[in-house]
Amino acid sequence: MSITYPLKPIQIRDFQKKHGSDIEHGFFTREGGVSEDMYEGLNCGLGSKDDPAAVKENISLVKKSFATGTLHIPVQTHSDVCQFVTLDDSDEKRFDADALVTKTPHIAIGILTADCAPVLMAGRTADKKPVVAAAHAGWEGAFGGILENTVQCMVDNGAVLSSISATIGPAIQQKTYQVGRDFYERFLFDDAANDHFFKLRQYNDLYFDLPGYAAMRLGGAGITNVILTGHNTYDDEDLFFSYRRSTHREESDYGRQISAIMIVK
């Protein structure tokens, strides 16, 4: 297949305008890259069954897009763990975490998704220096506190809370995210107000608003500026990999897209 380069990730103008030219970000789609068959395009899933050489080349293309030699992607387990990345961390280090934070220029940090919500954040210290974060928020991680922990890690490393804004990128949207009664009751047991994030349709089918729930959790952590891109990973096969779509088709595996952010200077 042909390689599309430069890559054209989804970038949020309002997010970029707020944080200026010293921060770059991108919600990368599956367009571009060298993977083939079910992984066609820019599959960055290190845990997928794709050809490892193809995945490595795809990640190299993302690095090239950011003009950096360092891109940290954590080993994600739907946990609430956020880790801080410094200049001393080599490019080969794999963090066991579902979110990363850094304030070091020229170190890109990214997370992988295939229906879960990718969340990119940026803020400023009291002396106006940037602090950035990338978080992987599936329902389990969001429910367990990954977003609050990421915000806290940013604050612990100097970010002024009121300066932090977040963008929730392409994820499965409510209209295609059917869940079971046990799932619904778990959320209501935690907080009856969570009923707001569920919609009951015909045959008593329940549908969950993951991006909306993630936005609420960010708001609860003190983030008042939250943008949702609204892209549906399940519906748009040309642009996005989707775990749920792959499962419904009984496919053996699925690709992952990457979302990343970096301090430029």
Residue 3: per-residue pLDDT? 61
Q: Which residues contact 90 (CB under 8 A, 6 or more apart)?
A: none
Q: For residue 209, give both structure tokens.
A: 């608003």
Rounded CA-CA distance 195/184 in Å is: 8
Q: For Cα atoms 31, 122, 95, give the angle at the middle one, nearest 5 degrees.
A: 70
Q: Where in the chain is the domain with CATH 3.60.140.10?
A: 13-171+209-263
Q: Span 131-137, mean pLDDT?
A: 98
Mean pLDDT of 161-183: 97
Q: Is 107:69 a contact under the CB 8 Å cutoff?
A: no
Evaluate if residue 1 carries a pLDDT over 60. no
Q: What is the 3-state secondary structure (H, E, C) of the chain?
A: CCCCCCCCCECCHHHHHHHCCCEEEEECCCCCCCECHHHCECCCCCCCCCCHHHHHHHHHHHHHHHCCCCEECCECCCCCCEEEECCCCCCCCCCECCEEEECCCCCEEEEEECCCEEEEEEEECCCCCEEEEEEEECHHHHHHCHHHHHHHHHHHCCCCHHHCEEEECCECCHHHCEECHHHHHHHHHHCHHHHHHEEECHHHCEEECHHHHHHHHHHHCCCCEEEECCCECCCCCCCCCCHHHHHHCCCCCCCCEEEEEEECC
What share of the chain in percent tops pLDDT 70? 98
| Distance between CA atoms of residues 186 and 168, nearest Å | 23
The region of weakest confidence among 171-185, 194-208, 234-248 is 194-208
Higher pLDDT, 17 or 192: 192
Query: Span 180-202, mean pLDDT?
Result: 95
From its phi and psi, is residue 86 left (phi > 0), alpha (psi between -120 and 50) or beta?
beta
Q: Indicate the CATH number for domain 13-171+209-263.
A: 3.60.140.10
For 249-262, write each residue's pLDDT tens digit: 999 999 999 999 99
**174 and 184 in contact (C-beta within 8 Å)?**
no
pLDDT digits (tens, 9 = 90+) for 10-32: 999 889 888 888 999 999 999 99
Q: Does pLDDT of 223 surpass 90?
A: yes
Burial class of residue 54 (count of CB atoms within 10 Å of its CB; 0-12, 13-18, 19+) = middle
Q: Label residue 50 by pLDDT band (50, 70, 90).
A: very high
Q: Mean of the pLDDT values across residues 102-106?
A: 96
pTM to 2 decimal places: 0.96
pLDDT tens per residue, range 197-221: 999 987 779 999 999 999 999 999 9
